[in-house]
């Protein structure tokens, strides 16, 4: 099966894509294009999947660069493959041609950035914690440091969990209210004391407040098991593990 790659016209100047799970070599609960080395999938199969992504991005596997994601606001500026272990961070930026930046997700937001005029790109993994702590704004700032212009940066949020599938408790809501009472607009009523959180709307608001043109592809990871992995869905189904989707962009 061929790979399925979701792209955006906003980033048409760059080779990029949000890869679905279709077209991979993994089987069982990981069936498809699982690119998560941190999963319990067979490591050699994960490498095969990553090699397919690298081929689609027209780079060698070593040039498909990621980070050890830890739900932080930290950004790494890269100019080539990591020398040894990938650094702990949740976003990458570069102005080096031939490097494909990548992030892994399974409900969190994969965000790809590009300034076609300056030739600067970025990729961020933004769950609720990273987004609250400023990973999106930090990615923009790191791109500016490489010569990008704020009003030329385009950002696209890929497949992520949608509001109707993201039920949270009152303590989660209280944390957001403590950070900014205006965050109430990202919550809807659920059952009982539960709330429904709109993660992509929150991400879009943060990006736009940072002066960046942004959009969401409007794909929900939780509600489409044929195309996307989902941590929350796997948890609800009591599955032992879950696959990781990959998003990538290169100059």
Residue-wise pLDDT for 103-160, tens only, equals 999 999 999 999 999 999 999 999 999 999 999 999 999 999 999 999 999 999 999 9
Q: How confident is the model at residue 44, as a pLDDT?
A: 97
Q: Is residue 180 part of a domain?
A: no
Indicate the number of domains in the chain: 1
Q: Is residue 174 part of a domain?
A: no
Q: Is residue 10 part of a domain?
A: yes
Is residue 70's pLDDT more than 70? yes
Per DSSP, which regions of the chain are E strands?
Answer: 5-6, 15-19, 64-65, 75-77, 91-94, 100-105, 109-115, 120-126, 154-157, 167-168, 187-189, 195-197, 213-216, 245-250
Q: Is residue 186 part of a domain?
A: no
Q: Is residue 44 part of a domain?
A: yes
Closest by CA to 69, choosing from 55, 90, 53, is 90
- pTM beyond 0.85: the answer is yes
- For 56, phi then psi, to 5°, come to -65, -30
Residue 47: domain span: 5-162+198-250
Domain containing 135 — which CATH number? 3.60.140.10
Q: Is residue 168 part of a domain?
A: no
Nearest-angstrom CA–CA distance, 205 and 234 = 28
pLDDT in tens, 205-251: 999 999 999 999 999 999 999 999 999 999 999 999 999 999 999 99
Closest by CA to 34, choosing from 243, 246, 248, 247, is 243
Q: Is residue 188 part of a domain?
A: no
Q: Is residue 123 part of a domain?
A: yes
């Amino acid at each position: 099966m061929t790979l399925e790659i979701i792209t955006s016209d906003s980033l048409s100047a760059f080779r990029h894509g949000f890869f679905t799970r279709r077209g991979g070599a993994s089987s069982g609960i990981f069936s498809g294009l699982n690119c998560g080395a941190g999963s319990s999938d067979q490591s050699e199969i994960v490498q095969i999947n990553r090699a397919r992504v690298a081929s689609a991005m027209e780079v060698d596997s070593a040039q498909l660069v990621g980070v050890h994601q830890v739900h932080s606001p930290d950004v790494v500026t890269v100019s080539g493959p990591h020398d040894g272990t990938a650094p702990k961070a949740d976003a990458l930026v570069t102005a080096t041609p031939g490097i494909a930046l990548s992030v892994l997700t399974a409900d969190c937001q994969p965000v790809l950035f590009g300034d076609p005029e300056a030739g600067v790109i970025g990729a961020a993994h933004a769950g609720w914690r990273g987004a609250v702590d400023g990973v999106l704004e930090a990615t923009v700032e790191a791109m500016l440091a490489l010569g990008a212009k704020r009003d030329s940066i385009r950002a696209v949020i890929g497949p992520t969990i949608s509001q109707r599938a993201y039920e949270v408790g009152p303590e989660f809501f209280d944390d957001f209210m403590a950070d900014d009472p205006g965050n109430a607009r990202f919550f809807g009523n659920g059952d009982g004391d539960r709330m429904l959180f709109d993660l992509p709307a929150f991400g879009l608001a943060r990006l736009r407040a940072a002066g960046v043109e942004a959009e969401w592809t409007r794909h929900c990871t939780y509600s489409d098991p044929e195309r996307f992995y989902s941590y929350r869905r796997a948890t609800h189904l009591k599955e032992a593990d879950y696959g990781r989707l990959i998003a990538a962009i290169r100059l």
